[in-house]
Structure 1
Amino acid sequence: MSTPENNPDKAAKVFADDRANVFHSWSAQGQISPMTVAGGAGSYFWDFNGKKYLDFSCQLVFTNIGHQHPKVISAIKEQADILATVAPQHANEARNEAAKRITSVAGDSFKKVFFTNGGADGIENAIRMARLHTNKHKVLSTYRSYHGNTGSAINATGDPRRFPNEFGFGHVHFWGPYLYRTAFWATNQEEECQRALEHLEQTIIFEGPKTIAAVLIESVPGTAGVLVPPAGYLDGLRALCDKYEILWIADEVMSGFGRTGKWFGFQHSKSTPDLIVFAKGVTSGYIPLGGVIIPEKIAKTFDERVFPGGLTYSGHPIACATAVATIDVMKSEKMVENAASIGEKILGPGLNELAKKHQVIGDIRGAGVFWGVDMVTDRKTREPLAPYGASSPKMNEIVATCKKNGLMPFNNFNRIHMVPPCNISESDAKLGLELLSKSLTEIGL
């Protein structure tokens, strides 16, 4: 591993240049203080002041193979020497190979890939395909969800980032399963599953099945809290979609490519969606890439009918070569299997042990290297440690203390998400738990 650089002068310059020239997303520009990141390797990254962090955020939950994997970096360099870019209307080898790799891990029914630059435009084009294929216009999605920051994607999103962007057409929200904060007065996972499906069916009936093109759902809602669906929920969703002739779009942008201990989150069920949207982990974020995985029945709709969508950089050869290399190293180094093992043996049991020690931990959910921890002020009332749609001084203190101790978690509202790389070592996984526990202890939680 490279040695972190300790260069305060450079840190100050990078920070000043950022504040002078860069406009950051989802931020009031005058209220942020970005970390100046200098480098990374494996499960760690570091700043220009020489501070090293164990990355339990995977940045925005995308460095699934860790930072700077040498085989993938080499593949990027090799593709740059062969063909750095090409217009999307031409065929190229890197794109072909990426499509083959992606469909091979999605399942036998999937035949083609429409490449995009990331997850949001993947969602955008999946919705477009569904509407054109079904000749229906509505899209149903859950309140606890995030699908991206483009027109239809942000309107499909449930969380508060939707509110200032509600200009889309035909979007309807419903409650997905979440036993800890059940909308259905359920007392166990079986009741939650049954009642959530009954609620979805009533929503379909009252919205009109002949108006609904698709149900769009994150296979495991990520930013909303790593809400692992109860057993049978996705199978019930599949049955409802079949009953009412509605497409199921699986948003696997965050849950895909090993994150849950399988290639895709839906693979924990017995059922298969109609369209799969992917991004993030497909390249470990090294080069932006996303897309829609398409079965033959939907691809055929556009054999003689123009698909009215495209992007200048669709199937960019360097991005596609990165995807090929990423999938290949995930297979050869058994990273998906490692993610499953880490979740089962270390993160799941370890987080439950931490809950015995720290009363602030209200609920724990997850699979593989994808875990969410609800932080509460009181376990009996389950009052969140931060209100919906915001943070709080205590949550800010938890995150700041984690960072001080060298742990970078992913946080949202009242939750801490523990989402390390799929190839994290057992020792580093245990260290991440120790650092979280140490941080909570230091602030008396």
Structure 2
Amino acid sequence: MDLDELVFHPWSVQGPRSVPTFVGGSGSYVMDADGRRYLDFCSQLVFTNLGHQHPGIVAAVKEQADRLCTLAPGYASDVRGEAAQLIVEVAPAGLGHVLFTTGGTEAIEHAVRMARLHNGRPKVLAAYRSYHGSTTTSIHLTGDPRRWASDTGAAGVVHFFGPFLYRSAFGSSTPEEECGRALAHLEQVILLEGPSTVSALVLEPVIGSSGVIVPPAGYLQGVRDLCTRHGIVLIADEVLVGFGRTGAWFGVDHDGVAPDLLVFAKGVNSGYVPLGGVLVGDAIYETFTRRPYPAGMTYSGHPLACAAAVGAIRAMHSEGTVAAAAQLGTDILGPGLTKLAENHPCIGDVRGIGALWTVELVRDRQTKEPLVPVGATGEANAPMAAFTKACLGHGLVPLVLGNRIHVAPPLNVKDSEAATGLAIVGEALAEADKFLA
């Protein structure tokens, strides 16, 4: 019996699957049960920022395991404190404390709870084309179709349009127009909802799995200004883009913005042991020096997870990982993907930053009709299935979401490995081209 059949798989139709079984990894590669290596061109779900089996992270986890494997969150812990210190040191100004969770969706839940308790307001704003997690509040906040099956419309969430020039909701023709019109739209939403009813605004500084949408210059600062003016808590969801993915420690750094709460996970320790958290701004921290915070988690600040974070952040400093990610985007991924677009008519748009890019596939570049419809399965999803099959056949693990191919290798991928990955993507895109009318 295939043991994989005993596992209930998330986001999947249950039943036998045809996927590789991976048993090992090293650097930018994973290895299957037959000993074949695959280039990990997606960092799994965009979290192995330092690749697989990084010696610094592995050693940190082993050292902590030899000392103390686990500890209840109510006690003080040296490694928990050290992880918090390292995180605060690279965070935007004013975020001086850390609530540790076991992942990003849990951190979103706590950030929203903190905001509501802080100002006593019920509503939370979130963008369409966003993903914030799959638990009750976080899936309601999510703005893309992944929320539809669970959305009861009862979580106090109001969605708005963020800037996205390629598919502008505002009829814009320049980044400057898109920025101004998106901010005007957001302010109108706030005013129509009633500023005194809006507790928080949750925003990915760079939209991640819902499209890799980089906001135009000035947009994040504009959102910050609106939130400040109306007493709204700004929550930056940095789960996917934080800790170097965009070529800065955090996505908000590109606009020099400091949010009131910052949610992180994934890259904080390259996913070696589940860890997430909320960086808490000073004003909100003060609220809970006068009253207890009414929530907690059994595994908050788990010693092994915090040790992995210590190992990862130290390695990022010593290896210059953040600068390397910026250069990877500027010198390799951006130009390479742009070149592929010249040769493959199925590519409608290429966009990204640092080590996070997407290629959006369309049936027609003029109409921008997606190559596959939303939620496509079976025959309707044949173009993306053919692309994925071709990638795996050439020894590359892709990340395909809808009609998009996300390119997000480890931040420390070698230039030669990145070039190899782009070449394989190019070969696989030839399969997608065959489905054009």
TM-score by length of 2: 0.96
Counterpart of 2:335 in structure 1 is: 349
Q: Distance in 2 between matches of 1:253 and 1:259?
A: 10
Q: Do 1:159 and 1:389's aligned partners in 2 also have CA atoms closer than 8 Å?
A: no
For 1:207, give the aligned amino acid: E
Q: What is the SS of the residue equivalent to 1:29? A: coil
Alignment of 1:1-400 (within 5 A): 16-19=2-5, 21-30=6-15, 32-167=17-152, 168-390=154-376, 392-400=381-389
For 1:309, give the aligned amino acid: A
Deviations 1:20-40 (A, max 9, x none): x21111111026334211111
Q: Distance in 2 between matches of 1:113 and 1:159?
A: 29
Deviations 1:252-276 (A, max 9, x none): 0000011000111111102211110
Q: What is the SS of the residue equivalent to 1:227? A: coil
- State, as a whole percentage, how many aligned pairs show the same letter: 53
Q: CA, structure 1 residues 127+443, in 2 after alignment: closer, same or farther (shift >3 Å)? A: closer
Q: Do 2:268 and 2:275's aligned partners in 1 also have CA atoms closer than 8 Å?
A: yes
Q: Do 2:384 and 2:432's aligned partners in 1 also have CA atoms closer than 8 Å?
A: no
Q: What is the SS of the residue equivalent to 2:300? A: coil
Q: Distance in 1 between matches of 2:210 and 2:75?
A: 39
For 2:408, give the aligned amino acid: V
Tell me how large the CA RMSD over aligned residues is.
1.2
Counterpart of 1:9 in structure 2 is: none
Q: Do 2:237 and 2:263's aligned partners in 1 also have CA atoms closer than 8 Å?
A: yes
Q: Distance in 2 between matches of 1:57 and 1:265?
A: 18
Gaps of 5+ in 2: none
Deviations 1:142-194 (A, max 9, x none): 11011011111111011222122224421111111111111111111111111
Counterpart of 1:409 in structure 2 is: 398
Q: Distance in 2 between matches of 1:270 and 1:390?
A: 39
Counterpart of 2:416 in structure 1 is: 427
For 1:166, give the aligned amino acid: D
Q: What is the SS of the residue equivalent to 2:15? A: helix
Instruction: Report the Cα offset of residue 49 of structure 1.
Output: 2.1
Q: Do 1:373 and 1:417's aligned partners in 2 also have CA atoms closer than 8 Å?
A: yes
Q: Do 2:387 and 2:431's aligned partners in 1 also have CA atoms closer than 8 Å?
A: no
Instruction: Report the Cα offset of residue 383 of structure 1.
Output: 0.7
Deviations 1:240-294 (A, max 9, x none): 1011110110000000011000111111102211110000011101000000001
Counterpart of 2:430 in structure 1 is: 441
Q: What is the SS of the residue equivalent to 2:398? A: strand
Q: Distance in 1 between matches of 2:171 and 2:101?
A: 40
TM-score by length of 1: 0.95
Q: Distance in 1 between matches of 2:431 and 2:35?
A: 23
For 1:89, give the aligned amino acid: G
Q: Distance in 2 between matches of 1:68 and 1:251?
A: 27
Q: What is the SS of the residue equivalent to 1:30? A: coil
Q: How many residues align?
A: 430
Q: Distance in 1 between matches of 2:26 and 2:284?
A: 41
Gaps of 5+ in 1: 1-12
Q: What is the SS of the residue equivalent to 1:356? A: helix
Counterpart of 1:5 in structure 2 is: none
